[in-house]
Structure 1
Amino acid sequence: MNITRNNVDALNAVITIDLAKQDFAENVEKVLKDYRKNANIPGFRKGQVPAALVKKQYGQAIMFDEVNKLLQESLNNYLNEEKLDILGNPLPVAKDIDWDADSLSFDFELGLAPEFTVNLEAAKTAAKYKIVADEEMVNEQVEYIQKQYGKLISKEKVEEGDDIRVKVVNQEEGIENETTINVADIRTKTNQKKFIGKKVNDEITISTKGLFEDDHKLMDVLKVDHDKAHGLEVEVTFTIEEISTKEKAELNQEFFDKLFGEGKVTSEDELKARIKEDAEKQFAQQADQKFMNDAVEALVDNTKFDLPKEFLIKWLQTAGETALTAEQAEEEYTKSEKGLRYQLIEGKIITDNGLQITFDEIKDYTSGLIKDQMAQFGQLEPSEDDVTNIVSRVLSNQEEVKRISEQLMNDKMMKLFSEKVAADTKEVTYKDFVKEVYGE
């Protein structure tokens, strides 16, 4: 056997594997003997079929199979030994093979990963956000918590902000559901006024068009699937069954202890400071993720390298469960090119900065996640044995290991970008952050 490589250019190569008959003849004969032992051919006892008949009937198929096994093994070994970084998988080159010849030759096309450098400074166009919880937001959160822990009071008439339990019906559309909505859930003041002042057993007939901010809320209220809710425009009748509101909880020590534990917060000012601190910790995670996403976009836009496009389009035609036409494969390549570029950039960043993940790191990271989750349920000091047992169960699931590994690598990449990318920092409120980033 002889293996050679012809580098067509920096991104494409052809591997040629030359086989002599003796490279696979012994394996073919061995398989033929096994076939003869087990062959069931009419007119012959099992194990007594003439070797010539077995070879005539199965010989060529067995040779094809053994040659293919040898080619795959030899090709994989060669790629590993030569440390070739390839994209996709090798593609066999179609050509006529004389299977009766003393030597056989096979060609395989390779798409080679490009060589390039990554300059993290190219990501400095991404903005770092410092999101602050302003006084308005803190006050709104205080009021929300007061209502959440407040006393439920029944009412005779509907007013702004009340909860109303309703039965909603449209017989023609097969809609009938009981649910609770808040008057504030209704999108427009005009529609809200149709409910204001109503009493138990009163009926309101109203159009579903634009009734709520989005179709998902309409799905919940009407108990219909997404396709039906999307763009639905019919009249429905709401029958009021119950009206209630929450009397806000008093800001006293009993309330503070219920929220944070005995004596940890002792005044309204401390409550607001705690809410502000907790909110800004959550905002920091969103800001960091946004910064990293923007940094990635900047790196993809500014890190220039070529890809073996023609090879990858050809590979995509046969890579999936269903074969694609050349046009379909090119369309798929266009969709996935940006993601492929980032995968290559990410791999380069990981290698250049030593961000590889060890199993011990995965265990420690998983342990931290579990302790955080247990703390949320009041288990502030779980035993190490309990945590270790849970970690073992979690990491016995390969899907969980993959998910946690990706999360850990994301954290490592985020830390790297934060430390090495000198981006400008913008201080904004959460509302301004949402408006600036998402245009809402």
Structure 2
Amino acid sequence: MNITRENRDALNAVVKVDIAKEDYSDKVEKILTDYRRTANIPGFRKGHVPMGMVKKQYGKAVLVDEVNKLLQDALNKYLTEEKLDVLGQPLPKTQDSIDWDSDGFSFEFELGLAPEFEVELKSKKAITQYIIVADSKMIDEQIENIQKQYGKLVSQNAVEKDSEITGTFKNEAHEIENTITLTLDKFKEKSVSKKFIGSKVGDIISLETKGLYNDDHDLMHALKVNHDKVHGLDIPVTFTITEINKRELAELDQELFDKLFGKDVVKSVTELKEKIKEDAEKQFAQQADQKLLNDVTEYLVDSTKFDLPAEFLQKWLQTAGEKPLDVDQAKEEYEKSEKSLRYQLIEGKIITDNKVQVTIEDIKNHAKEMIKGQMAQFGQLNPTDKELEDIAARVLSNQEEARRISEQLISQKLLKLYKEKANLKVKEVTYENFVKEAYSKK
């Protein structure tokens, strides 16, 4: 067997595999001999079928199968030994016909080669690393929400600013009739809230759906209509009041603290505020880290320039999926996935250059910590090592779950690397300002 490669350019190559008779003849002969021993052909005793007849009936099929196996094994071995970083899969070049009666065969494969490039982690313009703090306003709002959640409802005769109002939205023509409990702070305009103030049970309020809420999803929930119908909905509705209540706030006492966090974990309002701040900022840190990861990724894709074997990849996409694609469909699919492919290559380069590794032990330890946290939610605070080991083994026997954990750990290690090596400027903000800065439309 002989394998040669011709590099067409830096991103495209053709590999030629020449297979001689001596590469496959012994294997084919052995298989046919085995067939002869077991073949059931009318007129011949088992094991006494003439070899000529066996070759005539099975010879070509066995030859084709063995040559294809030999070809794939040889090609895979060649790519590994030559350390060729290929994109997609080798594509066999079209051959008019193969003469399976000849003694040797030649096959050609097109290769798309990964580009060579360097990654510069330090951007000229600093990337913002947000540190989100829970300010006193947020903490006080959270405490009030807790007090409302654990408070009790007191019936009212008339609607006040902070009432909880139960009633039914209705529009017969559009078959809308939905009963909900609402609060006045959800409405977009103060003029709408004023219509409710002083109203009593049995009163009917006339409203317009256009501009009723800030968010269409709130209107969708209020009217119980689907997502497509709610956008741009401009119809009159009535709201018939059936119940008016005021929520009496729960006392900030030890009984409430114990309900929230367990016995004696929090013993004062000061400690409650500290606990809320600590828990909130842990959650905020995850959001800030994800934002940083997204921003660094965007910078890397935009700043790391290299060419791809686009023509090859589009050709490969035509046959790579479950359904074949035509030329235009493959081009469209390539354009949609190009950015993702670029980042995969950049990420792979960063991982290789910086020796970022995730070991089996890392994956197992992460799984055990994850399981420990889940068990704690159900009151199992001190599981034994054996329990954790056994559950982790079951979890990691699922290859998809093991892969997901491995990807999480890689992301964590990359994030740590970016914090160490990227050009970052740290900015401390409240959550409200973080949302405005990080997710407002540019």
Coarse TM-score class (shorter-chain normalised): 0.7 to 0.9
Greater shift, 30-39 or 13-22, is seen at 30-39
Equivalent position amino acid for 2:8 in 1 = V
Structure 2 stretches of 5 or more lacking a match?
none
Which position in structure 1 is the counterpart of 2:146? 145
Contact 1:125 1:298 in 2 (8 A): no
Give the number of equivalent residue pairs.
439
Equivalent position amino acid for 1:11 in 2 = L
1:434 paired to 2:441: no
Between the aligned partners of 2:400 and 2:196, the Cα distance in structure 1 is 49
Between the aligned partners of 1:383 and 1:246, the Cα distance in structure 2 is 44
TM-score, normalisation: structure 1: 0.88
1:313 paired to 2:314: yes
Structure 1 residues 55 and 416: alpha-carbon distance in aligned structure 2, compared to 1, 3 A threshold: same
Which position in structure 2 is the counterpart of 1:72? 72
Between the aligned partners of 1:89 and 1:123, the Cα distance in structure 2 is 37
* Secondary structure of the structure 2 residue equivalent to 1:9: coil
CA offsets per residue over residues 141-196 of structure 1, 9 Å max, x none?
Answer: 22222212212222232333332333344444444443333333333333333433
Greater shift, 218-227 or 290-299, is seen at 218-227
1:333 paired to 2:373: no
* Secondary structure of the structure 1 residue equivalent to 2:109: strand
CA offsets per residue over residues 233-266 of structure 1, 9 Å max, x none?
Answer: 4444433332223111223344334334444444
Which position in structure 1 is the counterpart of 2:189? 188
Structure 1 residues 18 and 150: alpha-carbon distance in aligned structure 2, compared to 1, 3 A threshold: same
Greater shift, 264-273 or 291-300, is seen at 264-273
RMSD over aligned CA atoms reads: 3.0
Which position in structure 2 is the counterpart of 1:281? 282
Greater shift, 343-352 or 186-195, is seen at 186-195
Contact 2:123 2:423 in 1 (8 A): no
The within-5 A match list for 1:134-283 is 134-283=135-284
Between the aligned partners of 1:372 and 1:356, the Cα distance in structure 2 is 25
* Secondary structure of the structure 1 residue equivalent to 2:323: coil
Structure 1 residues 411 and 206: alpha-carbon distance in aligned structure 2, compared to 1, 3 A threshold: same
Shift of 1:88: 0.5
Contact 2:159 2:197 in 1 (8 A): yes
Equivalent position amino acid for 1:294 in 2 = D
Shift of 1:55: 5.3
Between the aligned partners of 1:196 and 1:433, the Cα distance in structure 2 is 35
Shift of 1:109: 0.9
Shift of 1:343: 0.8
Contact 1:367 1:387 in 2 (8 A): yes
Equivalent position amino acid for 1:318 in 2 = T
Which position in structure 1 is the counterpart of 2:89? 89
Between the aligned partners of 1:123 and 1:253, the Cα distance in structure 2 is 53
* Secondary structure of the structure 1 residue equivalent to 2:424: coil
Equivalent position amino acid for 1:73 in 2 = D
Between the aligned partners of 1:242 and 1:318, the Cα distance in structure 2 is 63
The within-5 A match list for 1:400-439 is 400-439=401-440
Between the aligned partners of 2:177 and 2:29, the Cα distance in structure 1 is 73
CA offsets per residue over residues 113-144 of structure 1, 9 Å max, x none?
Answer: 12222222238631111222222222222222
Contact 2:189 2:212 in 1 (8 A): yes
Greater shift, 66-75 or 155-164, is seen at 155-164
Between the aligned partners of 1:298 and 1:123, the Cα distance in structure 2 is 10
Structure 1 stretches of 5 or more lacking a match?
none
Structure 1 residues 392 and 186: alpha-carbon distance in aligned structure 2, compared to 1, 3 A threshold: farther
Shift of 1:438: 1.0
* Secondary structure of the structure 2 residue equivalent to 1:121: coil
Contact 2:257 2:267 in 1 (8 A): yes
Contact 2:127 2:423 in 1 (8 A): no
1:396 paired to 2:397: yes
Greater shift, 326-335 or 210-219, is seen at 210-219
Which position in structure 2 is the counterpart of 1:10? 10
